[in-house]
């Protein structure tokens, strides 16, 4: 079983860290309003395609590409079997269409070969960790995509996605180490949540972290002066106490963004809306 899909392998999490994660959750739910409505209701294969399109791509662009695929191909089987160059042309508006077209087709073929049909509905009958491990065994599917398929699709399972905004807020508030990458952070952050949370609560947790990252805890120049988590955030306290650190926070991310744009990758941003 993939360790990125399962947090049971991790050492015991300190109770005070779990309590901090819950306090952050409750404060952010107070800001953004929970429960948060699901943003769409796709079948799991459609959610898989949507998530793969969205990697390192703006939601508006990946959404247009998804609609273009739906318009051109009557079924996902037709997309799977289409000429790859044709698929690439159809999704030309996303980042790295020359990589995503063959990757999407290869993943759809893998699902078909393993299941005998192009369907992921059976994942609804599996425990979350087992379903995530099944998905992540497919080359090109990582923890963000597996969680998106299970959480955002009509399966509505208690799987925690972690996008770049969620990851940033977790690191800055000290829920995860600063050197823990987004992939392994899925298991670390899931281990902080109560095991009896249902799919809606887990979805809310991701959504409020993501929204806070988008609207307050910005990549550069975070709005610490109006942050409801300020007293829980060692990064915010350090930045406001040290003007030099605040200036560094405004300049270093630009280099990081340039490096990220230059490196094609998979499984790094949330499913398109």
Residues 185-243: tens digit of each pLDDT: 999 999 999 999 999 999 999 999 999 999 999 999 999 999 999 999 999 999 998 76
Residue-wise pLDDT tens digits, 70-127: 999 999 999 999 999 999 999 999 999 999 999 999 999 999 999 999 999 999 999 9
Residue 59: band (very low, low, confident or very high) from pLDDT cuts 50, 70, 90: confident
Q: Is 167 helix (H, G, I), strand (E, B) or coil?
A: helix
- Distance in angstroms (rounded) separating the CA atoms of residues 68 and 95: 15
Q: How far apart are CA 235 and CA 62, in angstroms?
A: 33
Q: How far, in Å, CA of 73 to CA of 251, rounded?
A: 45
pLDDT at 36 over 80: yes
Q: How many helices (H) and strands (E) does the chain have?
A: 13, 0
Stretch 256-264: mean pLDDT: 39
**For the chain, percent of residues with pLDDT exceeding 70:** 85
Predicted local confidence at residue 257, as pLDDT: 44
Pick the residue with more confidence: 25 or 273? Answer: 25
Predicted local confidence at residue 242, as pLDDT: 76
**3-to-80, 183, 198, 243, 245 alpha-carbon distances in Å:** 29, 10, 21, 40, 35
Q: What is the pLDDT of residue 10?
A: 63
- Quick one: tokens of 189? 């952050």
Q: Which two tokens stand for residue 250?
A: 């405004």
User: Which residue ranges form the domains of the chain, and what is each CATH number?
Assistant: 15-35+161-262 (1.10.1670.10), 44-152 (1.10.340.30)
Q: Report how far apart the first and last C-alpha atoms of the chain are (Å, whole number).
A: 30
**Mean pLDDT across the chain, nearest whole number?**
89
Q: What percent of the chain has pLDDT over 90?
A: 81
Task: Inform me whether the pLDDT recorded for 155 exceeds 50.
Answer: yes
Lowest-confidence segment of 50-59, 83-92, 194-203, 258-267 by average pLDDT: 258-267
Cα separation, 56 vs 265, whole angstroms:
8
Q: Which of 100, 102, 181, 110 is nearest to 139 (CA)?
A: 110
Structure tokens at 119: 């369907």
What is the pLDDT, as a whole number, of residue 250?
A: 56
Q: In this model, does residue 261 exceed pLDDT 50?
A: no
**Its pTM surpasses 0.95:** no
- Answer yes or no: is pLDDT of 50 > 80: yes
Token pair for residue 133? 């491990």
Which residue from 1, 50, 42, 29 is spatially nearest to 271, judged by alpha carbons?
50
């Amino acid at each position: 079983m993939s360790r990125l899909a399962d947090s049971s392998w991790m050492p015991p999490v300190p109770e005070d860290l779990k309590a901090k994660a819950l306090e952050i959750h409750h404060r952010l739910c107070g800001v953004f309003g929970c429960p948060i409505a699901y943003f769409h209701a796709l079948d799991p294969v459609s959610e898989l395609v949507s998530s793969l399109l969205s990697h390192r791509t703006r939601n508006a662009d990946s959404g247009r590409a998804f609609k273009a695929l739906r318009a051109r191909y009557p079924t996902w089987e037709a997309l799977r079997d289409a000429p790859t160059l044709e698929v690439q042309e159809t999704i030309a508006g996303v980042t790295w269409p020359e990589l995503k077209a063959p990757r999407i087709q290869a993943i759809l073929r893998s699902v078909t070969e393993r299941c005998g049909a192009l369907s992921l509905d059976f994942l609804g009958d599996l425990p979350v960790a087992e379903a995530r491990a099944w998905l992540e065994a497919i080359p090109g599917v990582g923890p963000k995509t597996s969680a998106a398929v299970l959480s955002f699709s009509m399966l509505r399972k208690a799987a925690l996605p972690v996008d770049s905004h969620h990851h940033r807020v977790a690191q800055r508030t000290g829920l995860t180490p600063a050197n823990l990458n987004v992939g392994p952070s899925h298991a670390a952050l899931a281990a902080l949540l109560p095991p009896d949370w249902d799919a809606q609560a887990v979805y809310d947790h991701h959504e409020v972290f993501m929204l806070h990252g988008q609207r307050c805890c910005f990549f550069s120049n975070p709005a610490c002066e109006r942050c409801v988590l300020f007293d829980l955030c060692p990064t915010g306290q350090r930045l406001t106490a040290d003007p030099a650190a605040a200036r560094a926070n405004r300049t270093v991310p630009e280099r990081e963004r340039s490096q990220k744009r230059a490196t094609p990758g998979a499984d790094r941003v949330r499913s398109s809306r």
